[in-house]
Structure 1
Amino acid sequence: MQDVYDDLALEGTELADLVAGLTPGEWAAATPATSWTVRHQVAHLAYVSRLVRLAVSDAGAFAAGAAPLREDFRSGMDARLAEYVAEPVPALLRRWAEERAAAEKGLAALKRRDLVPWPAEPLPASVLAAVALTELFAHGQDIRDGLGRPRALTDRIGHIVFLGTRTRDLAYRTRGLRPPAEPFRFELTAPSGDLWAFGPPDAGQRIAGPARDFCLLVTRRRHRGDLALSAFGTEADQWLDIAQTYVGPPGGGRAPQ
């Protein structure tokens, strides 16, 4: 798989280049997330970049900043988001760029397995980089959907696939459910045509299909009915309805198109 730190920087630069040239009307365009405009999406990414920067550079400041999220994820996130949304667009873009660059530099300076604090639990630095890349992918998809802009995917999404398989149990715990004891097998086709496989080859529960569709599913950016994913086994089929990579409430997801 490609280097997650390089891919994180590339994904951030690509999205930043897209929004840099938007008109005031495009910044105010609605996105699929209820009541969120393009401006809200970028504000959210700037805030997440700040959390990553603090996580890799100042554990005490991170703990203080993440405390509202642990108490009430939704209200804590909304309160911080308002601060970023209120900034003029040039200041918001500058702040996002600075936070993103500092977060990328801090992550790359760590050993891949160094544990870094995060709201749910400490994560290895390389996994947190995959989390940050997944945030860019997910909210970048919202921005592109709101603007009607297509995207060309590369094998950078391999890190999102990895995260989606690693966080299989998160979907159950978020909903107060007990995760299955049996591991799943994932067989997903990369944009390049390579096959990415995770889990025991003889697992009774299996999910297969395009990696692109898997990423859209686990970030809850598309309804499973609109994706070419196949589930073999009752538990695998149930998981396709609840999969998510992120900490916090799952939300309503996307309606079928």
Structure 2
Amino acid sequence: MTTASGVRDDLLAEQEALDVLVAGLDDEQWELPTPSERWSVRDQIGHLAFFDGTAALAIVDEDGFRASLASLSPVFAPDATPDTMDDLTLATFRAMTPAELLAAWRANRAVLADASAGLDDDTRVIWYGPSMGAKSFLTARLMECWAHGQHVADAIGAVREPTERLAHIAQLGVITRKWTYVNRGLDVPDADIRVELTAPSGDVWRYGSDDAEQSVTGTAEDFCLVVTQCRHVDATGLDVVGDDAVDWMNKAQAFAGQATDGPAVA
């Protein structure tokens, strides 16, 4: 059974894998544009640094985290733009040299690692939306690290080997199907969808009813790329059967925040 401690271990491993990917980049590579509109490689790491820091604060100081929410209030103003959030969360990191940014991310990761070491499975952690159970909270951090790491890999032309850590992201992708629709103000389709994913190890991860008429099958990596909006479903090898399954894969969003459409077909 997955535990908060187990997810934490995989989060640390995912962060270290991304660290290895970026540690040797030169200054020009840090400024390369990524598939995320407006964001460079440095912005991807700056985003992780900011939210790893606030995640640690949420665990150890709930009142301090609540107080920090006021700094993001301009995001909800009528004249807010996508740059508003970037200015509030990335400005500090955009002013750093690449070496300073990498050090800042490492420092915030270390604080989060220490803060999360004592989390029990049933601990709830305050966050920007509803509070989250410890396992879900840490899974979300792992998913963010992996997805933003994919954008970095795409920008620098690197190919990452998939790992069994994808199990956390795949499960998150399945259980956020309802969220995908609620977040868009849409009714959630009633149809059951069977998901069968081939893990990097060759094992098969199964979700949903075996007798479901609609299905999504393929590699765990492709599924995770789609639900984190790193790839359009048509740019993967996923076999999607049924109108509701197709609709889900075209809208899938395993992360919080306002609804987004993800990449177009390459």
Place the TM-score, normalised by the shorter chain, in its bin. Answer: over 0.9
**Alignment-derived partner of residue 47 in structure 2:** 44
Q: Which position in structure 2 is the counterpart of 1:71?
A: 76
Deviation at residue 80 of structure 1 after TM alignment: 1.5
State whether structure 2 residue 87 is matched by structure 1 residue 84.
Answer: no
Q: Which amino acid aligns with 2:13?
A: L
The alignment covers a number of residue pairs equal to: 257
Residues 191 and 58 from structure 1, CA distance in 2 versus in 1: closer, same or farther, beyond 3 angstroms?
Answer: same
Is the deviation greater in 13-22 or in 36-45?
Answer: 13-22
Residue 129 (structure 2) aligned to one of 120, 139, 152: 120
User: Which residue number in structure 1 is paired with residue 195 of structure 2?
Assistant: 186
Cα deviation for residue 252 of structure 1 reads 4.3
> Offset of 1:99 from its aligned partner?
1.0
Q: Which runs of 5+ in 2 are unaligned?
A: none
Question: Equivalent residue for 2:115?
Answer: 106
Change (3 A) 1:71 1:58: farther
CA 204–106 in structure 1, closer or farther in 2 if over 3 Å, else same: farther
What TM-score do the two structures reach when normalised by structure 1?
A: 0.92
TM-fit CA distance, 1:219: 0.7
Over residues 129-178 of structure 1, what are the superposed CA-to-partner deviations in whole Å (9 max), with x where a residue is unaligned? 11111111111111111101111111111110011112111211221112
Return the match for 1:15 from 5, 15, 18: 18
Aligned partner of 2:176 in structure 1 is 167
- Match for 1:239: what amino acid? W
How far apart are residue 88 of structure 1 and its match?
Answer: 2.3
- The secondary structure found in structure 1 opposite 2:165 is helix
TM-score (norm 2): 0.89
* Aligned-partner Cα distance in 2 for 1:161–1:105: 26
- 1:105 & 1:98 partners in 2: Cα distance? 11
Q: Secondary structure at the match of 1:221?
A: coil
Q: Secondary structure at the match of 2:197?
A: strand
- Structure-2 change in CA distance of 1:180 and 1:78 (3 Å): farther
CA deviation after TM superposition for structure 1 residue 32, in Å: 1.2
Q: CA RMSD in A?
A: 2.0
Partner of 2:102: 93
Q: How does 1:55-70 map to 2 (within 5 A)?
A: 55-67=58-70, 68=72
Greater shift in the superposed pair: 66-75 or 77-86: 66-75
1:176 to 185, 188, 212: 185
In 1, Cα distance between equivalents of 2:145 and 2:66: 23
SS in structure 1 at match of 2:231: coil
Any conservation in 2 of the 1:107–1:126 contact (CA below 8 Å)? no
Percent identical: 38
Kept in 1: contact 2:213–2:242 (CA 8 A): yes
C-alpha displacement of 1:35: 2.2
